[in-house]
Amino acid sequence: MTKVGDSITINRTVIRNRLTMAPTVKFDYAGADGKATEKHIEHYKKRAEHGCGLICVEATAVTPGGRFGKIHMGLWDDDQIDGHRQIAEVCHNAGAAVIIQLNHAGLNANPELGEVIAPSAVPTRDENVLAKEMTVEEIHKMQESFASAAVRAKKAGYDGVQLHGCHGYLINQFMSKKTNLRTDEYGGSDENRARFGVEIIRMIRERCGDDFLISVRTAGIEPDIATAIKIAEEYVKAGCHYLQVSTGIEWDDPTLKDEGKPYNQICELGVRFHDHFKGRVPVSCVNGIYEPELAKYLIENDLVDTVDLGKAVLADPAFCEAVLNGTPFVKCFCCPNCQYGPGMPHKCPAKRKVS
């Protein structure tokens, strides 16, 4: 039986246990230049020092116009590499593997930063304003931006990258029939809707080499699990090593029911993906994992390969030690509006200071 403290090798990266830190954006940590700051470095260092096996650094913009807001960390310029190098170094020094999530917000980009683009001309944040439909030339330019950011990530010392393919952002927008109304090679069939992400994966593999870990945080339901799995199959065939599963734009699958399981339906998406991809690529689940026993249950019952932790490790950087060693921890209060969330002050009421 696999234990939560057992190591796992993903592609060629050895991860010391089955606990990973999910990417959670720190909106007030970066400046307008998009550079990583001391706040970022210390934030990830603490979680690495207290037992996370794999750190996934927050959604990082691949273009200035793809940001959520004006204080969103980026990796679109070589001048941004040094701060990321420091994040990777402190995580590695603490024994954690570390990857970075690359993102473009698409429809959800801040309109103050430029024209909002998307696969199709559909409503933006302002429902009265339609996004500009990307031309094929613009699609290729955007893919180049993702690949170039991955090259910078490798130069910074990250073990790999995660493509943000869920939560309604650009890669997810290409995946979803609700936001992708195209009739060319980037729209229509499941294979075509996956093409934008697939071609990015292939470009990163070509430029960053076989040792570089490529993960996709993909939608586990879009609008149903079967369709989401078909899209993920295309990512895996293109060279994705690791599927970290969360939610998408649409949710319409009657097979997802509350049957008294100890984990929620978002976690179950990862469980279903693991059942499908078992033995081929490792799969993680996320959401609502606030107790050490649940993290252990998911691993020890072979329901997933790794467990992504979000609010639990924000509330207490030492949560992983509680899972691994049974030590005391401070539990997330599950506030209606997370104090670590967008536009919030990052003053978590549960947060414990640890050295």
Q: Which of 29, 169, 186, 340 is catalytic?
A: 169
Q: Residues 6 or more apart from 177 whose CB is under 8 A from it? A: 193, 223, 250
Q: Which of 20, 60, 25 is nearest to 43 (CA)?
A: 25
Place of tokens 């050490």: 292
Please give the backbone phi and psi of residue 136, each rounded to the nearest 5 degrees, phi first.
-60, -40
Contact between 161 and 100 under an 8 Å Cβ cutoff? The reply is yes
Sign of CA dihedral 290, 291, 294, 295: positive
**DSSP label at residue 322:** H
| 203 vs 216: CA distance, rounded Å | 14
Q: Is 169 a catalytic site residue?
A: yes
Q: Residues 6 or more apart from 273 whose CB is under 8 A from it? A: 220, 228, 229, 232, 243, 245, 283
Q: Which of 349, 304, 296 is nearest to 325 (CA)?
A: 296
| 193 vs 119: CA distance, rounded Å | 10
Rg (CA), the chain: 19
Chain centre to alpha carbon of residue 183: 28
Q: Residues 6 or more apart from 72 whose CB is under 8 A from it? A: 25, 27, 30, 34, 59, 61
Contact between 309 and 318 under an 8 Å Cβ cutoff? The reply is no
Active site residues per annotation: 169
